[in-house]
Every structure is written in structure tokens, then in C-alpha cells.
Amino acid sequence: MRSILVDRLVALRGWRAGLAACVLGALSAAALPPVTAIPVLLLTIPGLLILLGSRAGWRGAAWMGFWFGFGLHLVGLYWITEAILFEAAQFWWLVPLAVPGLSVVLALFIAVPCALAWLARPGWPRVLVLAGGWTLADLLRQFTATGFPWNPLGSVWELPGRIGDVFIQPAAWVGVHGLTLLTLLLVATPALGRRAMVGGLAGLVLWAGFGVSRLGQPTSPAPDLTAVLVQGDIPQGEHIDAEFARRDFQHHLELTAQGVARLGTAPRVAIWPETASLYLLATDSNARSAIVDAAGGPGLIGTFRFDAQGRPRNSLMAITSGGPPVAVYDKWHLVPFGEYAPTWIPISIPTLPNGGMAAGTGPKTFHVPGLPPVGVLICYEAIFPAQIVDEADRPDWLVNVTNDAWFGNSTGPRQHLAAVRMRAVEEGLPVMRAANTGITAGFDAFGHEIARIGMNRSGVIDVSLPGRLPATPFARDGLWIPTWLGLLSVALGAMIPRLTRNSVTPPGMTR
């Protein structure tokens, strides 16, 4: 049966080969969170390798990679359409264009590694070049045209519960991009024969052993602090006026008071989601006093502010009294086309007058009386590994506030949550997350989920802040680690044929 399937893939040409690659890519999306059906990659990645090897030249291989990437991102990013539907009367025409257009761009980052892989000898050399090139392309994707490192293949290991905790631990050393490289090497083994598969299984056992061992590592003592995480569940698209702002604000105050009532005199901090306060806390002393009164302590509150030039900023403010905020953080990794208009786009965007929001200056650590040093990140910023912490002023924990209401009850908010979990492992820091419509959650420094409020629910949870870990290797060296691993993988793929002249080509791995 396997031989028949291989022969059929090898024989495909023209649009049929492109369609097969697209289907394989679309199936691969099932391995991503929240489905995490990892075994599908044992079919789809070997299938991609077979299609690459059956092309007559590197251009044909690039074309196969393009269609694979297009299918992967078309399915993996379908949730973006949900945001457009909130403004369907005005932007209905974007529905058939936005996700396919973005998928075309992102597919190029898979096409290039596939072309490079074709140039390598079939077998392990080709797999090493593909895995290394894919990893390097994902790193480039993080910085190209403002960056969009969503759904890296390394995230497939974020399975629910203990098993996921075990398999994501290597991210503390190599980051999610390094997990992508390891994943590709592992799932390609069915294309390389039985010995490779046995080796892959042994590697998986070692991987799990490392994860179990690391989960036993001691953390610093837990601070005496409870995070009161508020999820207002305010629907997106409601008409915003003074009455709406009042109701919204009062609702968050009431939820905060409910959470605090369970704590007695225990130290606490209230955390509200992104832009939860429509009252401008930078100037509204009454609103600040109301929050502190309800919380019985400091608050980390998502809100807006206007800078000296009159441009809006998406902010998180630390307040301890009716006086001025003791710390202010402005989101610096803004969403292109959603929050600002990129300067490289030669047209104006009607929904973003004056270029949209102004960006902050980068990662920041708050030093708030009564709280351990805390790093803050707003929404979209959580998807950027090694770009979330001020390493010159390293925090003891992280706070992520977000509003994923734009994306409905889709995979989008769940994939966003998975990114936050991965950042906890990479940095070795606990993360407290407040999301408007969900998912609000707390993670310890190992990425283990310790509390949650599900989607589309209004509520509040009290989470005792766990201890932190020492700075991980990835926290110290950042993206240099997966970069060097990717380069090493490509170099090995190029060198192995010179070192082993009598190599055997696995079935279907022809050129």
C-alpha cells in the first residue's frame, strides 16, 4: 500500500501535483493548536518530501513548497475572517481576499526551503536542509514586513495537560523555532525507512525524558501575591458611547470586587484586559480611585491614552491610588492594518486616520510598590519569541492582556493562548493573562496551566502567583540559538554526501 501511494505521488504532474501539495498542507494544520493532531505530520511531511524529490528542478520543488504552505496557512489562519465580518457591511469584499492573500505571502517562506532541499541529496541530507531552511525562514518571518510568526510548527507540542507540559520543555533551550526544527526531523522519518523511524522513536523518548526531568527543577519561592484576573466578556461591535463606557467600567469593577471578596487581607493585584477601561486613566483620577477601591490594592489595567501629538496609544497602566499611574507601558508591536498603517503601504486606510496608533519603545518592566517586578505585554506581542522581556531589567513574572473578541469562538484565541504558554517556558517566568472574551488563564514558569476562564464567559479568578525559574538558555541567548541550529542543519545536509559516498536512496526520495 505504501509503495502504491508513493508511486502515485511521484507520478503527479502539473495542477494535480500542486493540488496534492495543497491538501497535504491543509491537513498539516490539524497538528496545530488547539487540535494538535501531531500524527498527521507523519503523513504530510513525508508526502511533501516525495513531491519535492519527484520534481525535475528546484523551481518545481519551490512550487510544491508554495502550495503546501498555502494550504497550511489557509486553514490555520481562517479565523482572521471573523474580524472582517464585524465590519462586513463595509469590508465584505475582503473576505475572499484577506486570508488567501496572507497565505500566499507566508507560503513563500516554505517555498524557499523546499527549493533548497531539492538541491540536497535525497535522504537525510534533504531532510536536514528542509528542516534547517524552514527554521531559518520562520525566523525571517518574525521580522519581515513587521513580522507575523503565527503558527510555527514547533507549537504542535502544546498538547493539553501534563503531556504537553513535558514536550514543550526543550523550548527553554531552543525556543519554539528550535522545536520546529526538531519536529520536522522527527516527522520526516517515515520517508527514510525503518531505521530512521526507530531512531525517531528513540529521540522522542529522550525528548520526553528531558521534559520530565526539567519539570522537576525547583523554582524560586512563590511570592505572597494573588492575581485577580478579570474577564468582562464585552461583545465586540457594540456602539461605543458614554453609557456603554459607564456600564463596561462598572461591570469590571463588580467582577474585581467579587474576586477580592474571597481574599480577605491577602496581598493582591487586579488585572483587567486590553483596553478594558474606556475612561482615560492617565487623566481620570476618579476612575483610578474606583479601581483601587474595588481591588483593595494596585491594578494593572488595559486602557487608551493620547500622547503629546494627540495620537492614541494602546496602553497598560499600573495604578495604586487616585494619583497618577506609577507606570505606563505602550504597546510597541502593533497589528498592521488593524492598529496602524505601515509606511511601506502607499495608500491610506480609512479606518486608520493619521496612520493609526503610535507605537511604544519596546519591552518594559514595571516596578510597582507591593509587587514583584513584572514584564508586561499587550495582545499580539505575545507571539514574538525573545522579544517580550527587557533583559537588562529582567522581571519575576509576566502579564499579558488581550482582547480576542474580534476573532469569535474560533481557533484564533486558542492559538493565541498557546503562544502565551510557550513564552512562559522560553523565559522561565509565570504568566498571568486577562482576556476580554477569553481565554483568561494563569501559567507557571513551566507553561503548566494553573487556572482558566473559558471562552465567552464573564468571570473572575484568583490565582496565586508561582515562583520563577533562573533565566533559561533561550532567555539569555534568544534567537541566536535556533539560528545557529538552523544553519548547522543546512550545513550538515550539504556536507553528509561528501562524508558518506555510498548512500542508499529511500523509496520515493528521487530527484
Locate 241 and state its grid cell: 458611547
Backbone angles phi, psi at 442, to 5 degrees: -125, 135
Dump the DSSP string for 87-113.
THHHHGGGTTTHHHHHHHHHHHHHHHH
114 is catalytic: no
331 is catalytic: yes
Distance CA 63, CA 250 (A): 55
Q: What's 116-161 look like in SS3?
A: HHHHCCCCHHHHHHHHHHHHHHHHHHCCHHHCCCCCCHHHHHCCCH
Contacts 24+ apart (CB under 8 A), 158-162: 158/33, 158/36, 158/418, 158/421, 158/422, 159/36, 159/38, 160/36
| Closest C-alpha to 330, from 376, 370, 286 | 376
Locate 507 and state its grid cell: 523509496
Please state whether beta strands 459-464 and 449-453 pair in parallel, antiparallel, or not at all (unpaired): unpaired
Query: Which residue in 82, 364, 379, 426 is the catalytic one?
Result: 379
Query: Which residue in 158, 274, 426, 427 is the catalytic one?
Result: 274
Distance CA 24, CA 72 (A): 8
Query: Which residue in 114, 158, 331, 381 is the catalytic one?
Result: 331
Locate 428 and state its grid cell: 522561565
Place of cell 510544491: 64
Active site residues: 274, 331, 379
